[in-house]
Amino acid sequence: MKSFPIEICDVTLRDGEQTPGVSFTCKEKQDIAQSLSDIGIEIIEAGFPSVSTEEKKTIKAIVEMELPSRICCLARCVQSDIDAALDCGVDLVSIFFATSDLHIRVKYHKTREQMLDTALSMLDYAVDHGLSVRFSAEDASRTDIGFLKQMYREGAERGAAYSSFADTIGCMTPIMMYDVVREIKKDLKNPLCVHCHNDLGFASANTFTASQAGAFQLHTTVNGIGERCGNASLEEVLVALRMHNKTDRYDLTELTKLSKLVEQYSGVLVAKTKPVVGEHAFVHESGIHIAALIKDPQTYEYYPPEMVGAKQKLMLGKHTGRKGLEHILTTLGYTCSNEQTDEILEKIKAAAEAKQSITAEYLSEIIAETRSSAS
């Protein structure tokens, strides 16, 4: 597969914090920013300074860390928001306004032309004051494509460093995303950014697909947190880029640790079946699978768990086979006869079917009981 140039803008500290009930302290945001920078993330969106005085102080504190990553913040098409971004000393400001007819009518009570004029005047103001600007269309996925192209064209002519496309309500599919990015890229004069929400479960897929269609800046959050159903997951997007786009400049071995950090600070638990960082991502119970894994992990692991800072784990349950049990017993240092192994396996299956968790302690009890009865 052909490799496409990309960069990541992680928005955990801004859109991720818009997850219901989530609020990061300044120290927590600094810890997350440091970890993102250590992984090699190019741009960190630190927050929305107009939200509160404390938010503005936190963004300043992250800027003052002088990380290798560029620091970004969000701004409405309002001069006070641009002034706040300037005061924070960020490298990039994302100026956004809703571009769909629905949003323009309901939220602004203006025409398309009036909204675009206001947005362009704020773009001029930011550029004139030395800011790099991402000119962002909110609800772009439901915006007339002609108006979207006009916005991006005029924005680029006025000095916007990036044009940004937001699937704000997560309504797109990967095929739709590929087609719209290809269409926009035909006439675009600056790099395109994509910001995807997960309302249909396609945020990560849409983000990766957009990169293959020519989008340059990809927006993510750690663990996919964010408003409603969340955003594109940083770990899923980075692994897809490593495996399918030959992108190898990010330190993926830190992903599991970062995931746990954000889980702790946000209070949003990661699903056990979450790709890449979920508790079960590299756990195997099926006897057929374990028998093959013992010979070659690639049989049932597309990428090695060590690549993302995790470990393979073989579990015991109703689907466990004899080969898997023998391997686990040997790994734990037990030597059992064939008859004892068969008896242990029967007890494990019976316990699992009764919804008993096969913990290490419970396994030790089964082994001791089996050996005792045999002697």
The two three-digit tokens of residue 179, written as one number = 């087609």
- Provide the pLDDT for residue 335: 82
Mean residue pLDDT across the chain: 93
Mean pLDDT of 168-192: 98
Confidence band of 232 (pLDDT split at 50, 70, 90) = very high
Residue 369, pLDDT > 60, answer yes
Confidence band of 356 (pLDDT split at 50, 70, 90) = confident
Q: In 3D, which of 356, 360, 361, 299 has the Cα closest to residue 328?
A: 360
205-224 pLDDT, tens digit each: 999 999 999 999 999 999 99
Percent of the chain with pLDDT over 70: 97
Mean pLDDT of 174-178: 98
Q: What is the DSSP string of 210-229?
A: HHHHT--EEEEBGGG--STT
The residue type found at 203 is: A
Residue 374, pLDDT > 70, answer no
The two three-digit tokens of residue 314, written as one number = 């073989």
Residue 44: count other Cβ atoms within 10 Å of its Cβ. 30
Strands (E), the chain: 7-10, 43-47, 70-75, 92-98, 132-138, 162-167, 192-196, 217-220, 283-284, 313-314
Contacts of 161 (CB under 8 A, 6+ apart): 92, 132, 133, 134, 190, 191
Determine the Cα–Cα distance for residues 88 and 60; give it in Å rounded to an integer.
Answer: 5
- Domains of the chain, start order: 7-266 (3.20.20.70), 283-374 (4.10.430.20)
308-325 pLDDT, tens digit each: 999 998 777 788 888 878
Q: In 3D, which of 8, 83, 17, 19 has the Cα closest to residue 44?
A: 8
- Provide the pLDDT for residue 195: 98
Q: In 3D, which of 167, 234, 248 has the Cα closest to residue 206?
A: 167
Q: In 3D, which of 141, 138, 303, 312 has the Cα closest to residue 235?
A: 303
109-166 pLDDT, tens digit each: 999 999 999 999 999 999 999 999 999 999 999 999 999 999 999 999 999 999 999 9
Determine the Cα–Cα distance for residues 350 and 344; give it in Å rounded to an integer.
Answer: 10
Contact 46, 55 (CB under 8 A): no
pTM of the predicted model, to two decimals? 0.92
Contacts of 279 (CB under 8 A, 6+ apart): 270, 272
Mean pLDDT of 242-257: 97
Confidence band of 1 (pLDDT split at 50, 70, 90) = low
- Provide the pLDDT for residue 355: 86
Residue 258: count other Cβ atoms within 10 Å of its Cβ. 25
Cα radius of gyration rounded to whole Å, the chain:
25
Residue 10, pLDDT > 70, answer yes
Contact 147, 133 (CB under 8 A): no
Residue 257, pLDDT > 90, answer yes
Determine the Cα–Cα distance for residues 257 and 91; give it in Å rounded to an integer.
Answer: 27
Residue 262, pLDDT > 70, answer yes
Residue 264, pLDDT > 70, answer yes
170, 173, 178, 180: CA torsion to nearest 10: -60
Residue 200, pLDDT > 80, answer yes
Mean pLDDT of 237-255: 97
- Provide the pLDDT for residue 375: 56
- Provide the pLDDT for residue 368: 84
Percent of the chain with pLDDT over 90: 77
Residue 89: count other Cβ atoms within 10 Å of its Cβ. 13
- Provide the pLDDT for residue 287: 64
Mean pLDDT of 75-82: 97
